[in-house]
Amino acid sequence: MAEITLKGLAHSYSKTPAGSDDYAIRQMDHVWHQGGAYALLGPSGCGKSTLLNIISGLLEPSEGDVLFDGQRVNELPPEERNIAQVFQFPVIYDTMTVYDNLAFPLRNMNTPEYRVDPKVREVADILELTPLLSRKAKNLTADEKQKVSMGRGLVRDDVSAILFDEPLTVIDPQLKWKLRRKLKEIHERFNITMIYVTHDQLEASTFADKIAVMYGGQVVQFGTPRELFEKPAHTFVGYFIGSPGMNFMDVTHQNGKVMFGDQPLPVNSQLTQLVATASSSNIKLGIRPEFISVANSPTPNTVPIHVENLQDLGTYSLLSFKLNGQLFKARLPEGHSAINEPAFAEFSDRHIGLYIDEYLVEIGHE
Ligand SMILES: Nc1ncnc2c1ncn2[C@@H]1O[C@H](COP(=O)(O)OP(=O)(O)OP(=O)(O)O)[C@@H](O)[C@H]1O
């Protein structure tokens, strides 16, 4: 069993950090519940590997605590944490057979051979490695090697969490979905906490029940793939999740109106009031491309736009347009062959997010 709690955790690679920029992980509290399938998603350099290495024990955090089932493990080395880690590149012994590679972690713990054999065969069966058991690992393909790497984590009965650090990087695209499905199957079969690090939103949402989105050394949102899409808690999540990401407008309040530059926006009175009383001047409205509609005649709820181009992407069309000199994207249902000017866009009121200092402000839509 492993519930992994991060308490007041922060990490700086510098011995004398001068400010928050010197931290790879900024102060965070987080709980990974026992048996969950999680993804840790974020761009390169946001601190994903640092966080994973702190959980596995390869790195000691400079501040805060890591707790496994309530016990502080900060100083425990990886081998005493009952955690397996699968890296981008397979970690296997090339000169050993697949069988011996899978048996290695068990033999290393002096497990008797009569218990090693059934476990190795069970794991080989799940990972479809049985026909390769007697092969030398050096003769395997990249995806077979990565499966052996995963298998080495799975053979140990004492492993209660597996951490995957971009495990499909070296795998052919057409095999990726197969391995991802396999991982999901393994998660369902064994009651293991799994944390899967990736910078690919599709990979994260097909594997995980809940995704932690990291940005600038912090988890800015922890939610289901649907929550990340429907209610991005931070502008970065809006921009990073979705294809294309959310459109954002820097807005102000002038003479009772919400303004995007010189353009008044036809938003409801509740939103206008919130913008008027905001405690910061960093105010943004976010709207996903899916919730913008376009027409050729104006209504009280539309704004005039300049059409840039329309791409037919099969099941939908992607319109690029400019408003107040800024580029926007709108996902329109298929069937639009062209959009002529004059053109007007309507932002669905229910789907406009208000962001103050980059964080979502909850609005109770009537
Ligand atoms: N050993 C180290 N010494 C100093 N700085 C480091 C070290 N490892 C990582 N960093 C820095 O810490 C920050 C977070 O890096 P980290 O590798 O955790 O990010 P990541 O999200 O895993 O990125 P990637 O997807 O590229 O692996 C980066 O600014 C990186 O340059």
Ligand 1 mean position, distance from CA 38 (Å): 20
In this prediction, residues 255-264 reach a mean pLDDT of 96
CATH of 247-361, one of 3.40.50.2020, 3.20.20.120, 2.40.50.140, 1.10.300.10: 2.40.50.140
Angle at 91 between CA 165 and CA 130, to 5 degrees: 105
| Ramachandran region, residue 62 (left: φ > 0; alpha: ψ -120 to 50; beta: rest) | alpha
Q: Is 199's C-beta closer than 6 angstroms to any atom of ligand 1?
A: yes
Q: Is 49's C-beta closer than 6 angstroms to any atom of ligand 1?
A: yes
Which distant-in-sequence residues (6+ apart) come within 8 Å of 111 by Cβ?
A: none
Ligand 1 mean position, distance from CA 42 (Å): 12
CA separation for the pair 328, 325 (Å, rounded) = 10
The DSSP bridge pattern shows strands 37-41 and 210-215 to be parallel
Which pLDDT tens digit goes with each residue over 212-231?
Answer: 999 999 999 999 999 999 99
* Mutational test site, ligand 1, from 20, 21, 49, 54, max ligand atoms within 8 Å of CB: 49
Q: Is the pLDDT of residue 365 over 60?
A: no
Q: pTM value?
A: 0.90
CA separation for the pair 323, 266 (Å, rounded) = 14
For residue 50, CA distances in Å to 2, 196, 218 come to 20, 13, 11
Which pLDDT tens digit goes with each residue over 163-182?
Answer: 999 988 888 888 888 888 88
Per-domain residue ranges for the chain? Answer: 4-240, 247-361
In the numeric block, which tokens belong to residue 291? 């919730």
CA separation for the pair 294, 311 (Å, rounded) = 15
ipTM at complex level: 0.97
CA separation for the pair 339, 349 (Å, rounded) = 23
Q: Is the pLDDT of residue 154 over 90?
A: no
CATH architecture of 4-240: 3-Layer(aba) Sandwich (3.40)
- Name which residue sits closest to atom 6 of ligand 1, judged by CA: 13
* pLDDT band with cut points at 50, 70 and 90 for residue 52: very high
Q: Is 41's C-beta closer than 6 angstroms to any atom of ligand 1?
A: no
Q: Is 60's C-beta closer than 6 angstroms to any atom of ligand 1?
A: no
Q: Is 234's C-beta closer than 6 angstroms to any atom of ligand 1?
A: no
* pLDDT band with cut points at 50, 70 and 90 for residue 336: confident
